[in-house]
A = this chain, B = another copy of it.
Amino acid sequence: MKEGPDIARIAALIGDPARANMLTALMSGKALTATELAAEAGVTPQTASVHLGKMTEVHILQKRKQGRHRYYAIRDENVADVIAGLMGLAEKVGLTRTRTGPRDAALRTARSCYNHLAGDMGVRLFDALYERGYLSRSGEDLRLTDAGHDFFADFGIDFSALDQKTSPMCRECLDWSARRSHLSGNLGRAILDRLIELNWAARDTNSRAIIFTKRGKAAFIDTFG
């Protein structure tokens, strides 16, 4: 009827329960995969896919392809602000969602991400390596420095095998439990393998959790912390 921006389209998108659940999950700042978001929303992956497509289309979300996963995240500060504002309004009126049981904390501390270490431990590792100058960034690429090469050779990584592979040695991987990055790529995989080989940690059979032994955790912190 009048001129002006069309609020309805955007608000209607946020207004669907499934999508709203996804958005609140993403408000943590983490990037989540389509399947994870489907679980958060309580719908099947097909349905989630449609929702995510629509939200990406109007630039509410940002899509990031990584291997066979699609990571979705809140597009920018402006979107986050609006959602936060809506939360404020809802809160004031006493509109709250039903809560479920607490999430598995083990997954947040350490878990496998494809084949490498993720979670708090993974992020901590990444930060330490970067700080010590074992990793260096040039643009989008992540590189293992000579010092880093020596360090990991000492740690027991077999570079003779790794160097032959065509896939990248180091890659940055978005971590969903922390909002930071952790180390992916061939090196990331090799590190996790070595951690298990050393009996510092083991894969949980039922989940993606990585269980550190007491000795293993101490050694990990001693080595990388």
Q: Residues of A with Cβ closer than 8 Å to B?
A: 1-17, 19-21, 23-25, 40-42, 58-60, 78-79, 81-83, 85-93, 95-100
Contacts and interface: CB of A to CB of B under 8 A. Distances in A.
12 contacts: A2-B21, A2-B24, A3-B98, A5-B97, A7-B20, A8-B14, A8-B21, A10-B15, A11-B86, A60-B89, A78-B89, A82-B89
Q: How many copies does the complex hold?
A: 2
Contact of A10 (B1, B21, B79, B86): B86
A13 B20 CA distance: 13
Contacts of A78: 85, 88-89, 92
Nearest to A99: B3
A64 B144 CA distance: 67
Contacts of A58: 89, 93, 95
Nearest to A17: B8
A82 to B, nearest CB: 4
Contacts of A14: 7-8, 11, 15
B41 A5 contact: no
Contacts of A98: 3
A201 to B, nearest CB: 29
Given A59-B92, A89-B82, A92-B59, A20 B40 contact: no
A90 B16 contact: no
